[in-house]
Structures are given as structure tokens and as C-alpha cells.
Structure 1
């Protein structure tokens, strides 16, 4: 897209007011439809609503940089595309610079989701290449691969809303093909390795807020902050939502695995 195409894309897209993330197998659509946008884990045994919730945009969670054997497309991937392992999450790392990966991703990963009714995608694990890229050449190769992946998806499905989880280093090349940028753990985070909720250090928070300001100033994209509180701690969720809004960002707060629906982000305070 050119900059003018970006303007047309922005005019045809609704302004992002609120968003929820739910990765469970049994979504309560009557609750989720209270949100404007909802990101779902598409591997669950459910079908998207077809005759209700017309005001809700359903987006599919998609892991770009990592894959597990549970994904339908896993067995069709050439084995040499796997170049490492994320031991914390038990997933395999994908070489983003592998020839054929962008087309495979668009046709074998994204196309079935479009056929299922999803109107956009939340691209996760965009920085996973950093777990195995130990030199600048490999890092640049994988960054170029990720850019090619996003462009290929946009070519196949130009009306789809694409939200990135981080991917800050990619934005100079593909910001005009992105609807919004998200990141996790601004105030409260979840440690999978420790199995506990954690406070985010000030230095990490300052770095994320600097990135958010750059995204908003340079590219005019909305920025989403996803934080984590124990489901029973309602006060934590409301406090974090208020603090995220105070920094000019769009909030969502849930449990560490995004398996509960939290309506705190819809509150007006």
C-alpha cells in the first residue's frame, strides 16, 4: 500500500474503541459481543456466530513465529523450516526467511480462517526469531521474512484487519498494512515459567511506553496494552485498566492464559 492507500484503508476501518482476547474452547458469545473487537483462539471446537453480533469483529489468534504439532498445518510444513524450540511454551521456532513460507502461511494458515468467518488476525510471536538469531545477518533475514509474510496476507486478503503483537522493528516497512499494534504486560504480567502474576519493572514499562509513543506519532496506529491479573482480583483489573487508559492506550486485562472474559475494559471510569 502507498500512503494514500493507507488513508483509504483508515477511512474504511472503524476506529478501535475496545477489544477483548479470549483463548478458551467455549467462548460465551453473549458476553464477548459487548466488545467491538474480539480475538479468539481458533482451535476451539466452536463456530462463530452467523446471525448475531453483527457489530463485533471476530479476529483469529495466529502464532507466526512458533508452531506446535496441534496445528492443522503442522504436518504439511517442511521439517527444515523448524530451527529451534521455545522450551517455556513447548513450541517450535519457525525460520521466517524460509523460501515458500509466506505463501504457505497465507494459503494454509490464513485462508482456512477466512473461510471460517474471521475478519482479521492477531499476529503473535513476531519476535520469536530472536531466540535463535544470534547474528545480525540472521536477524535481518527473519525480519525480511516476517515483512514478506504480512505483505502476502495483505495481498490475499486486503480487507482483513491485522493487529501485531509488538513487531515494532517491522513497522517502517508494513505500517500501512496494519490496523493496530498490541503488547503485553505494561503494569502486571504473567510468568509462565514461575506460574505466577508479576509486577512489571519500571524500566520495562518505560521502554514499552516509548515504543507506544513512536507507533502513535509516526504511524497513527492505535496501541493496545494487554495486562494480567488473577480472575478473582477485580480491583486489580479495574486499577490496571484505569492506569493503561491514563497512558492513552486501549486496555484489556485477563488471567495469565486469557481463559476468562473480563468486562473491566468496558468500564467508563
Structure 2
């Protein structure tokens, strides 16, 4: 089975930017750039500098400010609000209406804008909901995996990076270009409003999982995102070195 390939076959760095204030020149040193799909600098200018540019799409929840929020609300497939992100609502990924909206509307809109691929976020949501209530949310995780595979099948030339969703990654690794392990060594505590280390068990689980995916898809790009105070330059350097030693492409 041919695996999706990145525009740059050997990327050295990457960045996520969800605003539109910075000029395209700010991204000329990056190989992989992830922009918000609706608000972003010039895609073509960043591509001209050599980057592969991905458009953000949230599959596990929908934010109120998104242009498709009211339509999804009318479909009757929104669940409860995400307490960590007020104004963002979980979506029932088992819904045929959601699959059709993603396949026939949301992904095509991103690609028509000129993006090289899509960056899929919030795949942890369906997994956590099913773990929370296995009866009420039965099939949510499998539905999430199926939706990612369907996107890959419907848009075979499109590059796909997914953020986390560890429990379903073995099911989709062969269908995607890259995976982002967010909060691998450090995380952001919403209650304490600060960055702090993850537990040893959580770190080990994530690293082992990410490394195992390379056995399924040898060409998979494994990226990591850790959180820390950037003024603590020594610690930031240590985090970069730690993740590079794991064979990952880090960002702190």
C-alpha cells in the first residue's frame, strides 16, 4: 500500500499558527506549516518558500465561531460543551450527517483554498466520551477512525496529519502522512494555568505508541508538541534534545 508523502520528504522543523497577523516571511524557515483553515497568512507565499502547508480541521468538536457551526447545530448532532474550551461543542462522530459534511463540504473547502493537506484535531474527544460512558457513546472511537480513513480514500492525493487520538492511531497510521503527539513530555494545566511535566507512565506510553506507528507506516512523520515557558531557554533546549533523541520532530 503506498503511503501518503510530505512535500518535503525530510522535514527538519514545523510550526502551528492560528492567526493572520504575521507576514508569510515569518514562516520561510519552516518545512511544515499548519494554519487555521479560515484565518491565515498567504498560503501560496509560504508554499513558494518551500513549506508544505496544512489547513486545520476539528473533527471531534465544533467551535461557535466556525462558519459551519449553525448548520451542524441544525443537524442535531452536537453534544455537550467542552469545559476547557467554552463555546466549543463535542460532535457525534457516528452521525452520517457529520461524515457527509466533512467529506462533501469541509475538506473540499480547505483544499480549494490551496492547502497541501489537512491537520486533523480533537480526535481524543470521541475516545474519551466512549471511555466515560461505553453504552451511550458506543462506537465513537471506531467512527472517528473510519472518518479519517474515509477522508484518505476520498482524497488520496491529500496529505493528512492527525493530532493525538492514540487509541485509534494503529487503525489509521497507514492512511496518514504524519502524527502529532501533543503534551508528550510536558503539558499545559488549564486549572493551574501553567506548563508542567507529564507523568512518567504517560510519557512512556506516548513515546512507545508513537514509535510503534513507524512499524505500520515507515514513512510516517512523527511530530511532538510540548509546553514550557520560553524564557526558560535551558529547559526548552533540553526538551528539544529529548524529543530529537526519540527520533521525533519537536516543537516547544
Give TM-score, length-normalised by structure 2.
Answer: 0.88
Gaps of at least 5 residues in structure 2 are none
Match of 1:125?
A: 122
Match of 1:224?
A: 223
Matched position secondary structure for 2:55 = strand
Of the structure 1 ranges 230-239 and 58-67, higher mean CA displacement relative to structure 2 is found in 230-239
Could you tell me whether the CA contact under 8 Å between 2:6 and 2:177 is conserved in 1? no
Gaps of at least 5 residues in structure 1 are 254-269
Q: 1:69-218, aligned counterparts within 5 Å?
A: 69-77=64-72, 78-90=74-86, 91-133=88-130, 134-136=132-134, 140-218=138-216
Per the alignment, do residues 131 and 11 of structure 1 end up closer, same or farther by CA in structure 2, a change over 3 Å counting? closer
Q: Deviation of residue 219 (structure 1)?
A: 2.8
Q: Deviation of residue 43 (structure 1)?
A: 3.3
Could you tell me whether the CA contact under 8 Å between 1:103 and 1:152 is conserved in 2? no
How far apart, in 1, do the equivalents of 2:6 and 2:23 lie? 31
Deviations 1:6-56 (A, max 9, x none): 3xx449872343221122332342131211111112332543234863411
Q: 1:12-23, aligned counterparts within 5 Å?
A: 14-23=9-18
Q: Deviation of residue 104 (structure 1)?
A: 0.5
Could you tell me whether the CA contact under 8 Å between 2:5 and 2:159 is conserved in 1? no
Per the alignment, do residues 175 and 138 of structure 1 end up closer, same or farther by CA in structure 2, a change over 3 Å counting? farther
Give TM-score, length-normalised by structure 1.
Answer: 0.82
Deviations 1:197-231 (A, max 9, x none): 11222121111111122112333222111011223
Q: Deviation of residue 166 (structure 1)?
A: 1.6
Of the structure 1 ranges 90-99 and 216-225, higher mean CA displacement relative to structure 2 is found in 216-225
How far apart, in 1, do the equivalents of 2:237 and 2:158 lie? 31
Deviations 1:150-177 (A, max 9, x none): 2332233221111111223323433222
Could you tell me whether the CA contact under 8 Å between 1:106 and 1:153 is conserved in 2? yes
How far apart, in 2, do the equivalents of 1:35 and 1:58 lie? 10
How far apart, in 1, do the equivalents of 2:228 and 2:115 lie? 28
How many residues align? The count is 248
Q: Deviation of residue 149 (structure 1)?
A: 1.9
